[in-house]
Structure 1
Amino acid sequence: MVTWAALRHLRERRLRADRRFGVRLLASAAVAAVTAVCFGLLLILVEGQWGPLRRLDSAAAQRLHTVALHHPAWTGTLRLLSDRVWDPVTLRAAVAVLTLWLLYRKAWRLAAWAAVTAVAGGLIGLLVKAVVERARPALQDPVAHAPGYSFPSGHAMTATTSFAILLLVLLPLVPRACRVPCWCVAVCSVLGVGFTRVALGVHWFSDVLGGWLLGLAVVALTAWAFEAWRADVGRSRTPVSEGLEPELTETSPEPGISPR
């Protein structure tokens, strides 16, 4: 028999859960807003050719280019990482495989989130490049070449969105003891991508920073939308450390409830 005290306790638990969800959802929206504002400010500084930023870009490009010219083995390693390991085609292929696996698992909405985030990130990056039309660094004796415009860095943006997708989808399947190393690998990879592009002389530092910020904004916005959907269907919001959908680990759905 259910007592009034038990009902009141259940109601209070639900209210606390709702408040926590609201705070976390607001935090997700705030992250998206802050990164979008930071990107917009950076874009204004790039378009306005702000002196301090130009000097920072030039100094970083010249210093790293000098190192690349005098250390061929180091430059070859950077090319391998940039053009093979962290190449946008490789990362997008990894996300495509993940999306197909999610479809196989009948995780329809999570698969849609992964696909939309990856495609939206790529299209937005191309659109901004076409609007800004920033030229790439013109260095003497270049060690690498890249086509197209410079701002934002497509490599940096693709790395940000791709590693975020992989982490937020697969974290529920990773043992807790291995989650911190996974985060470290993802963060180091995203930072490493940006470094290789500047060190190879095909991007300015501000290009890479713009790619990171824009990629983070795209992921934050789509993740916010996904979490809002979870609230609409009555599911609790989960911490970032648990991934977007912890139910992915379930082998069978609860009676009467679709896990996806």
Structure 2
Amino acid sequence: MTGRPTPVVLPPSLHPRLGLIAALAALVVVALGVLYAGHSEPGEVDRWIIQPTADTLRPPWRYVALALDFLGEPVGAATLVVAAVTGCLVLRRPRAAVLIVAGVGMTVGTGTLIKHLVGRTIHGDDNLSYPSGHTAFLTALALMVALLATGGLGLGRTAGTSLVLAAALVAGAAMGWAQVALGAHYPTDVLGGWCTALAVVPVTAWLVDRTADSVRREPH
């Protein structure tokens, strides 16, 4: 039994470009993971970026960084996810709500697994730093919201891809800046977190669509 078609969460026009971006992002995550596996010190790129900013963040920018950091903490992240899921349900987009939950879960889960596999630390042996989970989370959420906006607005391939990448860049840059400025992560940890979201979210969206379409096609 089929009903009224349910809007997809990964617009078909974006499949080729986002698929390529996801593959390239995955390669970056793996390459950086191999390069910094087991390290506990910043690399050359990290030193070049953090040298002028380490321990120099002062109010009001420190408050901005702390506020952004809070959005990646359990309470802040849960609040954002609940708000996004509620919005999807109010707009009668249950598949979109599933994407938000699945996308966040897959991104955070993948990042956590990579942390333990790579074993890079900062400020002590217990602080696994690669990739940045805060950056991965906020980037993933921004990506998914942009994907849903692309579908809802009926944007074409170029406009849709631009919106998705711009959202990912703004979210990743904002949270990445906060993490580096607060000394919570190295710049390459932030890049790894950003690329983790770029690699995971498109695949998750595709799987959500495939699974939902398969369920709808089954006889009842």
TM-score, normalised to structure 1, is 0.62
Q: Does 1:127 align with 2:116?
A: no
Instruction: Quote the offset at 1:196 in angstroms.
Output: 1.1
Match of 2:137 in 1: 158
Match of 1:109 in 2: 95
Closer, same or farther: CA 184–113 of 1 in aligned 2, 3 Å: closer
**Which structure's CA Rg is the greater one?**
1
CA shift, 1:212, in A, is 0.4
Letter in 1 for 2:110: I
1:93 to 69, 79, 88: 79
Gap change, CA 1:222 and 1:231, over 3 Å in 2:
same
Aligned-pair distance for 1:64? 1.0
* Contact preservation (8 Å) 2:143, 2:167: no
Deviation at 1:137, TM superposition (A): 4.4
Structure 2 residue runs of 5 or longer lacking an equivalent are: 1-10, 156-161, 216-220
| Letter matched to residue 136 of structure 1 | I
Output aligned runs, 1:25-174, within 5 Å: 25-47=15-37, 54-68=43-57, 71-83=58-70, 87=73, 89-137=75-123, 148-172=127-151
Task: Provide the secondary structure at the position in 2 that maps to 1:64.
Answer: coil
Deviations 1:191-235 (CA, angstroms, capped at 9, x unpaired) = 1110111111111011101000111101121123345568879xx
Query: Displacement of 1:182 after TM fit?
Result: 9.3
One-letter amino acid matched to 2:29: F
Aligned to 1:197: 179
1:156 Cα deviation from its structure 2 partner: 0.5
C-alpha distance in 1 between matches for 2:114 and 2:152: 35
Indicate if the aligned counterparts of 2:140 and 2:201 stay in contact, CA closer than 8 A.
yes
Residues 24-46 of structure 1: CA deviation (Å, up to 9, x unaligned): 53443322222111211111111
CA distance in 1 between counterparts of 2:74 and 2:169 reads: 16
Q: Percent of aligned positions with the same letter in both sequences? A: 25
1:207 aligned onto 2:186: no
Moved more, 37-46 or 101-110: 101-110
For 1:41, give the aligned amino acid: A
Could you tell me which amino acid in structure 1 is paired with residue 130 of structure 2? F
Q: Judging changes above 3 Å, is the alpha-carbon distance between structure 1 residues 225 and 182 closer, same or farther for their aligned structure 2 residues?
A: closer
Q: Please provide the CA RMSD for this pair.
A: 3.8
CA contact (8 A) 1:137 1:204 kept: no
Q: In the alignment, is the contact (CA less than 8 A) between 1:156 and 1:212 conserved in 2?
A: yes
What CA deviation, in whole Å up to 9, does each residue of 1:45-71 have, x standing for no partner?
11275x9x7122133233211432xx3
- How many residues align? The count is 201
> How far apart are residue 175 of structure 1 and its match?
10
Q: In the alignment, residue 56 of structure 1 is paired with which amino acid?
A: V
Q: Which has the higher contact order (CA 8 A, sep 6+)?
A: 2
